[in-house]
A and B are shown apart, each in its own frame.
Chain A
């Protein structure tokens, strides 16, 4: 079965960087687009970024454009989110999620990881 496991969360000061990883198993990772979605404590869901199956197409939410980068290593079945210039409002649980499509286009989120908590605070 599909299994997604995020790691790399923690407490970081404003302005610093953090990289999240998402290890995938149970499906052919290299065939599917992948997303990051976040949820601030006690709040709703916010889409962050998407990457196509081959890394060739990437899209970002306006709130993170220019600060966050999404990438993948298909040889390691791993998705990444590089977060730079972090702000207190980036504090959230970050979920990786599988797209049912290969493209880096907008899609429903077919499967989700359990999430990684990122806290931005001085």
Chain B
């Protein structure tokens, strides 16, 4: 099973700042089959990025994904108030596993 480790656990930033979230896999993820999700309290997760770098439908372009192999990154270029949430990475190249999440909180 591919284990995904997300860091940091919590990111404290101010609106307008840049957020960089990391997701490291215990082994290479085939074809960059990595997705990112945003989850707000009391809500279901929402797909942001798939295929490591493709934005899902209606996702603003301040969200971008990059990486390959074992190291993947989600970047939010300028944080908006609605972006403060928990973010999960997921790999779907070999079964399906999630990272433990990164909470982006208001500083």
Q: Which residue of B lies closest to A6 (CB)?
A: B44
A47 at the interface (CB under 8 A from B): yes
Task: Check if A110 sits within 8 Å of B98, measured CB to CB.
Answer: no
- Tally of contacts, chain A with chain B, CB under 8 A: 50
B interface SS class: loop
Quick check: A112 and B45 within 8 Å, CB to CB? Answer: yes
Q: Which residue of B lies closest to A49 (CB)?
A: B96
Q: Residue B44 contacts which of A44, A107, A115 (CB distance < 8 angstroms)?
A: A115
Contact B44 A114 (CB under 8 A): yes
- Chain A residue with Cβ nearest B36: A108
Inter-chain contacts of B92 with A (CB < 8 A): 106-108
Q: How many A residues touch the partner, as a band? A: 20 to 34
Distance (whole angstroms) from the CB of A37 to the closest CB of chain B: 8
Residues of B within 8 A of A89 (CB): none
7 cross-chain pairs, A with B, having the tightest CB-CB distances, nearest first: A47-B96, A108-B35, A112-B44, A106-B92, A108-B50, A45-B98, A106-B96
Pull 29 A–B residue pairs with CB atoms less than 8 Å apart, ordered by A. A35-B96, A44-B88, A44-B101, A45-B37, A45-B45, A45-B88, A45-B98, A46-B98, A47-B97, A47-B98, A59-B95, A95-B44, A95-B45, A106-B92, A106-B94, A106-B96, A107-B92, A108-B47, A108-B50, A108-B90, A108-B92, A109-B37, A109-B90, A110-B47, A111-B47, A112-B44, A112-B45, A112-B46, A114-B44
